Amino acid sequence: MRKIRKVNTNKRKKKRKAAEERLATQASLMKNHPEECCVCGTDFTRTQETVITWRVIIREERVRLTCPSCWGKIQEVIEQCQE
């Protein structure tokens, strides 16, 4: 029974390490985010409200910043495609 426990522990450690590495990579990419909306080009000014309402998407080393109005349009298109 000790072997099973040890194998499970090693798997959890590997998963945790991979998750930590992924988080570190994404955090470093956040430092270089764009300064405008990737859809409409609206400038991003860092205030408490904009930090809360704007969306940041990170996929495969690409960082995209989206304003609330464009994000709403994207959500509408996604909902229409799912129907």
* Whole-structure pTM value: 0.58
Asked if the model's pLDDT at residue 17 lies above 80, the reply is yes
Render pLDDT for 44-62 as a digit per residue (tens, 0 to 9): 888 888 888 989 888 877 8
Compute CA distances 83 → 28, 69, 73, 75, 78, whole Å.
37, 22, 16, 13, 9
